[in-house]
Amino acid sequence: MTEPTVGEDAEARARAERHVGRPRERREDPDLLTGNAEYTDDITAPGETHLAFVRSPHGHADVEAIDTRAAEAMDGVLAAYTWADLREAGIPGRLPITDRVRGDVPGHPVLADGRVRYQGQPVAAVVAESRYRAADAAAAVDVSYTPREAAVDPVDATASDAPTLFEACPDNVATAGELGDEAATDAAFEDADEVVELDLVNNRLVANAMEPRAALARVHDGTLRVEMTSQSPHRHRSKLAQTLGLRENDVRVVAPDVGGGFGHKGHHHPGEAMAAWAARELDRPVKWVATRSENYQAGAHGRDHVTTAALAFDADGTIRGLRADTYAGVGGYGLGSGPALATWYGRLLAGEYEIPAVCCRTRGVFTNTAPVHSYRGAGRPEAIYVLERLVKRAADALGCDPAAFRRRNLLDPDDFPHETAVGATYDSGEYEAAMDRALDLVDYEAVREKRGEEGANGERGKRGERGERAERDDGRLVGVGLANFVESTGGGFESGVVRVHPDGGVTVFAGTHSHGQGHATTYAQIVADELGIPDEDVEVVEGDTDRIPAGTGTFGSRSTITAGSALAESAADVREKARDIAASELEAAPEDTVFEDGAFHVAGAPEQSVAFADVARAAYGRLPGDLEPGLEETTFFEQEETAYAFGTHAAVVAVDPETGEVDVERYVAVDDCGVQVNPKIVEGQVHGGVAQGLGQALYEGAQYDENGTLLTGSMQDYTVPKADQIPELTTDATETPSPTNPLGVKGIGEAGTIAAPPAVVNAVVDALEPYGVDHVDMPLTEERVWRAIQQSG
Amino acid sequence: MTEPTVGEDAEARARAERHVGRPRERREDPDLLTGNAEYTDDITAPGETHLAFVRSPHGHADVEAIDTRAAEAMDGVLAAYTWADLREAGIPGRLPITDRVRGDVPGHPVLADGRVRYQGQPVAAVVAESRYRAADAAAAVDVSYTPREAAVDPVDATASDAPTLFEACPDNVATAGELGDEAATDAAFEDADEVVELDLVNNRLVANAMEPRAALARVHDGTLRVEMTSQSPHRHRSKLAQTLGLRENDVRVVAPDVGGGFGHKGHHHPGEAMAAWAARELDRPVKWVATRSENYQAGAHGRDHVTTAALAFDADGTIRGLRADTYAGVGGYGLGSGPALATWYGRLLAGEYEIPAVCCRTRGVFTNTAPVHSYRGAGRPEAIYVLERLVKRAADALGCDPAAFRRRNLLDPDDFPHETAVGATYDSGEYEAAMDRALDLVDYEAVREKRGEEGANGERGKRGERGERAERDDGRLVGVGLANFVESTGGGFESGVVRVHPDGGVTVFAGTHSHGQGHATTYAQIVADELGIPDEDVEVVEGDTDRIPAGTGTFGSRSTITAGSALAESAADVREKARDIAASELEAAPEDTVFEDGAFHVAGAPEQSVAFADVARAAYGRLPGDLEPGLEETTFFEQEETAYAFGTHAAVVAVDPETGEVDVERYVAVDDCGVQVNPKIVEGQVHGGVAQGLGQALYEGAQYDENGTLLTGSMQDYTVPKADQIPELTTDATETPSPTNPLGVKGIGEAGTIAAPPAVVNAVVDALEPYGVDHVDMPLTEERVWRAIQQSG
């Protein structure tokens, strides 16, 4: 055998030194963790003013009169605005609304147009020299309302005697959709040996980002610049421009550090539109920062599905068909594409299984509640919850082990690409391997044996990891729950620019915007590999419509797939051009020039070389021949096919039948998001997603009374999980590359919120098996679980 | 004849509607003229601090000790820094210096390294909570100096007994250059019938931009962001990074509105480096704004040439050769490429003439004066001044009309491309046409007849346009002076991005930075023509190293040539892609798709069309086939050959022999800068340049005493022309397109400063002909002119 050539040798070394796949620490964290992040409210504009909203205390009412005189007369108050002012200015003044909404229903007005349709809807706005003065002035605005009857529940709101929110939509049904083949599904149900049915509520959630929504708007040189809490700066720019009747090139949206989003910072809201308009009117910077209460009342909410679903299967456990009928709350206004969300959630209803017939009917329904839009998972959790609850119910009905029931119906690795009965085309998957790994890690067989037995967890109680558990008096019921899931990830286009500076340093620009995802770390790894340089040499810039060509944004577990791929392709183009420049410097043919150890070499004559930094410097001087100066490339990457991440999560719970308290004792997450660029960040995403999914399963849920008054308007009433309520998580992964993008990656940002709710509810139902409880709606509060046990009596 | 096709019709209409060539009002002006510009000092960073320098009162001295204790003890003072602090920090701490400097001479230290080499050199810096406190604290720093003998005059400084500034450069000669063929020139001088010789001083000038130099530095996320007065943000970034030992991708330079530059905001200075370093040290924003005095003492100066020059010619007026020997003051430190400037100024010495032999010898000399760098024209005015003064002297020596003398030697339109004896290759020119136009406009023959006659301008005195002139007692001497010039314009590369937003609006980005040139107006015209849209739809962004790929900057009359061409090419690429998208929407072949009236049409079926804005929206959705999403293109345009602008300026002066007062009575400028994108802006550039050239000719000149103390350190001593000192200007143009760039443009920014000094001095010498005065050095103050008259006596 001959010696490896220099090239081969280098290739082996390069593989060993690749950055992709390494669990690098997040470069964002030092600033984020030490208070050095720069959030929107940390930015101060000289002469800035402060905006506060007057919000409706009613869920549904007519606005009879607004008296702003007392507010305007206060010292330090610059202006008080109502809908009349926006009308007079001749701007659209309404947020764009999807054309999927039935009838000619208007979009959300920036300020109430004579009627309020949810509690917390902005009715007037005041601008003052200080935030305190603005709050005082808002309180001094006198608004007269005539309350109307409210529609709150999405099912009840479609009743013929329900109050109507919009004349153009008398039945309150904003959007309606059907997916799958109804006839085939009916036939499958008739043929099947067994059918189980469940009524399920997917609880309404409130996005509780650490940083509430905020905007700082200012005008210079005719350009409106808005620093704001945005997941999607370019989309926000488009929408702001539409609301205010501006051209997009007169608007610049800058997203500084953003303290979490979970979807609701991807939507366009009245807050930023009002601040921007006021800044133009007053020719002064205007800042608006939502309070936590405003976030609860008027931040977009998520989920809010009421579903009747059924699964048909044969006695041997073969699934024959699935049917779902969903009423989804849309809220008091259609916010962007919010009302359309429900109409496509059914796309994931087949999950990991071979289900020959699926049919899903949906109605998005206007109710006198905060507008609903995508919330971490955005339709995927709702679908998987329906499916995995049915699967558990079916297995129990058959007396079959739920894992075995699942295994019987799993798609096989050679089934891909696979088109489901609801029209989703899965790219790749090895579902059974992931499920086996999860079962193994959760010690499934052992737990199943003890499920439902009082005191069954005594052994684990002795682990002694937490003192109080080791000592506990064990009268609790153990259960194990599984959730198999697929998740559609990515989609759309993203821009990625790779710019090499004259000194060889690299800055990359992407149209996504990290708000906790660690893009700066991940993207640097991707680009560093393509350019064969240390990832510290790569700076990552996001969040500025002026600095970044175009963008779709960060949501839907799409960023690494789309922006990562755009950057990888741009970096490959840069490498190619750098090689051409190096070749001309080395007086060699480009194809005889190899890149290794940070330099280009002549193949076979490694001593003839030119360093990457020298190529960069040369690129900004005069280049020979047809070579254009510069060393920068831009790619608009379009992900044409969806990448389907998947996995199996398993939860072990102990339920105290005396109190209804649920303790998640163990949680195992086995995820497959294809190639992992940074396993540490993947793990972090799973941790965060599971915590949020546990929140939905156990604690969270927005509650309105019959007048549309929010009963859960603070962190005391709407309880997000605290650190000590999160069990120890065991994460693991399989890696099935996706063919949909050059990196082979799939998204991971939402997996935990998809899998955790059905895993936990399935576990609790499993634990309550002795009581014959076949379902409890989320959140599984002590009261609900206790009542379920009592009622099963 | 057949009817014109739709395409031809549209083409004719498009030509008529072109934006290029129209005298559009500058879109920048409303903000600039109403106080709404945003200069660096207008920007406020939360928590900003203020930096003030302690500067040397000596032209040359050793720094024995610096005691900062009293300053540091003051309330509100955050820090006081000296060179020791920079050394301790381990940063380079010296501004980059051209490698053309002889010996191992160090670059300008940000703070004095134990010796000061010019008055005003920064010795220490203090940072305080307010600007007032910083000034007080700077005054409280106690510095002990031991003065040294100073070298001030660039010729004297090369004498063997002159004090030495740098041990590494004992003769103070920083740079030396030779251009042309010495032997051939010697031979030409021997052969020629006549030789004239002149000793000329090209007076040292101070750039007096309305806005002094300023910087606001802050650090966020490890990135240093510096808002600063910059003509060349990307170059400033490179140099700042070098001085501070940073990577370029850790530095962002943003240039807000800039109130004039004239070259000196293209150089890297200690001010911005010190502010940036302090911001990093203190982790607080640091602002530094130069006072007018600091601008005089330590802003880069310009010109400062002492030249002995001679012209050889035959009795028939044919020029045979030119020789020039120049000592150019470099100042106390080599500032970037400043010391190299003089070495290439001779490239333009042949001017518009066929001169078979030219030889130019130059020495850049360190002197105990402010560093010298490029000042509007940067070498071109110096060369044309030498040439045109010699031409006037030669014509007078021959008793020949100076216009006729010039005409005899002018290059012919078919001589192009023409390589001069000093290696410049002229692209195109019609010199005689421009000269004829100027002679005609200035009424040359009539003025020549009356030149030197006392009272000759009595007739014009009756014009009565200005009351006081109509009544004047006329004992004055009239003269007319000409200046023919060529100007090397453009060079290097520039980046230009054309971005079409989803709503069809366009933003373009260029690496130049307007600081009075009106790029936003000009570039919009260029791009609008390429895209066939209104120029109001095009926004122009400059001045941000993060928003713009790369850049060389605005200087050397290069912006429209380089950035204009880059944008034109990017726009053409965008149009091409838009056509491909439109074709797919129209289901037509791209070659059958024509663009007119803001829409793409199927050729021959104009009713099938898609609007540009709809194409833009489609571009950001899913596109068919291989089309990548997005509608944006980037070009790095390299101007490979220099574009030579040219023209003839003519001045008519009246000189009062009793007082020496010079009155410029008429001034005609005929310029040829190729295709004019915006004739109004061209005219404005000529006006400004001529005013500045008149300043050099008549009023301005930095004076040092023998100790290196600046005697002209304020606007009272160094007098820039006031509005009422600028004569009525008559401007006209010829238009000889340049083949060096797709737009056919040449630069125009510096023409006036090149032509006005020789035109005015020639006119004064012309007027003083009765006294036999053959030269007076600039500035032509009353005293100097009066003395020249007396001495000629």
Half-sphere exposure (Cβ direction) of A80: Cα atoms closer than 13 Å: 26
- Indicate if B520 and B542 belong to the same structural domain: yes
What is residue B202's DSSP assignment?
A: E
Please give the single-letter amino acid code of residue A465. Answer: E
Asked if B359 and B180 count as a contact pair (C-beta separation under 8 A), the reply is yes
Tens-place pLDDT, residues A235-266: 999 999 999 999 999 999 999 999 999 999 99
CA distance B258 to chain A (A): 14
Distance in angstroms (rounded) separating the CA atoms of residues B525 and B519: 10
Asked whether residue A650 falls in the same domain as residue A597, the answer is no
- Would the CB atoms of A632 and B220 count as touching at under 8 Å? no
Tokens of A310: 């059924």
Q: What's A372's DSSP letter?
A: B
For residue B612, give its domain range.
Answer: 6-37+491-639
Query: Do B601 and B669 fall into the same domain?
Result: no
pLDDT digits (tens, 9 = 90+) for A356-381: 999 999 999 999 999 999 999 999 99
Question: Is residue B376 in some structural domain?
Answer: no
Q: Give the closest-approach CA distance of B189 to chain A in angstroms.
A: 38
Q: Do A636 and B622 touch (CB under 8 A)?
A: no
The reported pLDDT for the residue numbered A8 is 52
ipTM confidence score: 0.85
What is the percentage of chain B residues whose pLDDT exceeds 90? 89
Instruction: Render A572-609 in DSSP notation, one character per residue.
Output: HHHHHHHHHHHHHHHTS-GGGEEEETTEEEETTEEEEE
| 3-state secondary structure string across A437-472 | HHHHHHCHHHHHHHCCCECCCHHHHCCCCCHHHHCC
pLDDT for residue A3 is more than 70: no
Ranges A491-500, A595-604, A679-688, B295-304: which has the least confidence: A595-604
User: Do the domain assignments include residue A258?
Assistant: yes
Confidence at residue B417, expressed as pLDDT on a 0 to 100 scale: 97
Write out chain A residues lying below 8 Å of B546, CB-based.
507, 541, 544, 547
Query: Which helix (DSSP H) or strand (DSSP E) does residue B671 occupy?
Result: strand B662-672
Asked if residue A367 is part of any domain, the answer here is no
Q: Are strands B194-202 and B223-228 parallel, antiparallel or unpaired?
A: unpaired
| pLDDT at A455 exceeding the cut of 50 | no
Q: Which band of pLDDT confidence, cut at 50, 70 and 90, is reported for residue B103?
A: confident
Q: What's the mean pLDDT in A27-33?
A: 92
The pLDDT value given to residue B459: 42
pLDDT of residue B455: 42
Q: How many domains does chain B have?
A: 2
Section A545-557 average pLDDT:
94
CA distance A246 to A273: 12
Name which of B221, B501, B638 is nearest A249 (Cβ-Cβ).
B501
Flag whether A624 is in a domain. Answer: yes
d(CA A145, CA A112): 12
Instruction: Give the mean pLDDT of B464-481.
Output: 58
Give yes or no for a cis peptide into A779 (omega within 30° of 0).
yes
Say what the pLDDT of residue A562 is.
Answer: 97
Q: B62-74, pLDDT tens digit by residue? A: 999 999 999 999 9
The pLDDT mean for chain B works out to 93
**Neighbour tally for A633: CB within 10 Å:** 21
pLDDT tens digits, residue range B543-601?
999 999 999 999 999 999 999 999 999 999 999 999 999 999 999 999 999 988 789 99
What integer pLDDT is reported at residue A461 of this predicted model?
A: 35
Q: Is residue A338, in this structure, part of any structural domain at all?
A: no
B370 touches B300 (CB < 8 A): yes
pLDDT of residue B469: 27
Q: For A64-120, what is each residue's pLDDT tens digit?
A: 999 999 999 999 999 999 999 999 999 999 999 999 999 899 999 999 999 999 999
Alpha-carbon gap: A741 to the closest alpha carbon of chain B (Å): 14
More confident residue, A737 or A626: A737
Q: What end-to-end distance do the CA atoms of chain A give, in Å?
A: 78
CA distance A773 to chain B (A): 48
Residue B466: its pLDDT value, please? 30
Contacts of B258 in chain A (CB under 8 A): none
With a pLDDT cut of 90, the percent of chain A lying above it is 89
How many angstroms separate the CA atoms of B644 and B486, rounded? Answer: 6
Nearest beta carbon to residue A638 from set B503, B629, B632: B629
How large is the average pLDDT for residues A514-539?
95
Q: Are B593 and B586 in contact (CB under 8 A)?
A: yes
Chain A nearest-CA distance from B336, in A, is 17
- Among B507, B533, B622, the residue to mutate for chain A (most A Cβ within 10 A): B507
Side-chain half-sphere CA neighbours of B311 within 13 A: 29
Q: Give pLDDT, residue B450.
A: 76
CB contact under 8 A, B249 and A539: yes
Q: Which tokens hold the place of A556?
A: 């839907």
Contact across the interface for B638 and A629, Cβ inside 8 Å:
yes
C-alpha distance from B31 to closest chain A C-alpha (Å): 7
Nearest to B423 by CA among B320, B349, B483: B349
Over the stretch B630-658, which tens digit does the pLDDT of each residue have?
999 999 999 999 999 999 999 999 999 99
Question: For position B6, what pLDDT does the model report?
Answer: 43
Residue A173 lies in a domain: no
Q: Which residues of B touch A546 (CB under 8 A)?
A: 507, 541, 544, 547
**What is the Cα–Cα distance from B394 to B410, expressed in whole angstroms?**
15
Running DSSP on this structure, what letter comes out for residue B544? Answer: B
Other CB atoms within a 10 A radius of the CB of residue A21 amount to: 15
Chosen for mutation from A26, A33, A99, A221 (greatest number of chain B CBs closer than 10 Å) is A221
Q: What is the crossing angle of helices A612-619 and A565-586, to 10°? A: 90
Identify whether residues A536 and A564 lie together within a single domain.
yes
Q: Which of B622, B639, B656 is the last residue of a domain?
A: B639
Do residues A234 and A63 lie in contact, with contact meaning Cβ atoms separated by under 8 Å? no
Q: Output the six-digit token pair for A220.
A: 């210079």
Q: What is the pLDDT of residue B624?
A: 83
DSSP A224-288: EEEEE--S-HHHHHHHHHHHHT--GGGEEEE-------TTTTSS--HHHHHHHHHHHHHTS-EEE
Q: What percent of chain A has a predicted confidence (pLDDT) above 70?
A: 95
Identify the residue whose tokens are 């001495």: B791
Same domain, A216 and A288: yes
- The one-letter amino acid code at A543 reads G
Which of B501, B630, B634 is nearest residue A632 as measured by Cβ atoms? B634
Give yes or no: residues A652 and A625 share one domain.
no
Separation CA B425–CA B287 (nearest Å): 45
Q: What tokens were used for A321?
A: 């068909």
By Cβ distance, the residue of B222, B493, B629 closest to A636 is B629
**Which residues in chain A are closer than 8 Å to B635, comparing Cβ atoms?**
628
Whether residues B591 and B556 fall in one domain: yes
Residue numbers in A near B539 (CB within 8 A): 223, 249-250
**Half-sphere CA count of A767, side-chain side, radius 13 A:** 35
- State the average pLDDT over residues A22-32: 94
Which chain A residues touch B538 with a CB distance below 8 Å? 249
Report CA-CA distances (Å) from A21 to A28, A316, A673, B360: 18, 42, 12, 63
In this structure, the answer to whether residues B621 and B760 fall within a common structural domain is no
Look up the CATH number of the domain holding residue B746.
3.30.365.10
Chain B residue nearest residue A221, CA to CA? B31
Measured in angstroms, the CA of B373 and the nearest CA of chain A are apart by 21
Rounded CA-CA distance A60/A165 in Å is: 8
pLDDT in tens, A182-240: 999 999 999 999 999 999 999 999 999 999 999 999 998 789 999 999 999 999 999 99
pLDDT surpassing 50 at residue B456: no
Res B603 pLDDT > 50: yes
A–B CB contacts, 8 A cutoff, strictly below? 132
How near does any CA of chain B get to the CA of A31, in Å? 7
Please tell me whether residues A502 and A622 are part of one structural domain. Answer: yes
Contacts of A499 in chain B (CB under 8 A): 549-550
Is residue B363 over pLDDT 70?
yes
- Phi/psi for B718 (5° steps) reads -110, 105
Q: What is the rounded distance in angstroms from the CA atom of residue A160 to the CA atom of residue B289?
A: 71
**Model pLDDT, residue B321:** 98
Q: Which residue has the tokens 């879109």?
A: B27
**Chain segment A321-358, per-residue pLDDT in tens:** 999 999 999 999 999 999 999 999 999 999 999 999 99
Q: Which residue of A has its CA nearest to B241?
A: A503
Q: Which residues pair with B194 in a beta bridge?
A: B313
- Residue B172 within a domain: no
Which of B616, B639, B662 terminates a domain? The answer is B639
A576 Cβ contact partners less than 8 Å away, ≥ 6 residues apart: none
Residue A670 and residue A621 share a domain: no
Cβ-Cβ contacts under 8 Å for B8 (sequence gap 6 or more)? none
Last residue of a domain, one of A639, A666, A693: A639
Shared domain for A573 and A657, answered yes or no, is no
Contact flag B247-A632 (C-beta cutoff 8 Å) = no
In this prediction the pTM is 0.90
Q: What's the average model confidence in pLDDT over B282-290?
A: 97
Please check whether residue B669 lies inside any domain of the structure. yes
CATH of the domain at A237: 3.90.1170.50
Question: Which residue(s) pair with B733 in the sheet?
Answer: B671
Could you report the per-residue pLDDT of A403-413, keeping only the tens digit for each? 999 999 999 99
Exposure string of B310-339, with b = 16+ CB inside 10 Å and e = fewer, is: bbbbeeebbbbbbbbebbbbbbbbbbbbbb
Judgement on whether residues A225 and A108 belong to the same structural domain of the protein? yes
Say if residue B473's pLDDT is above 60. Answer: no
pLDDT for A466 beyond 90: no
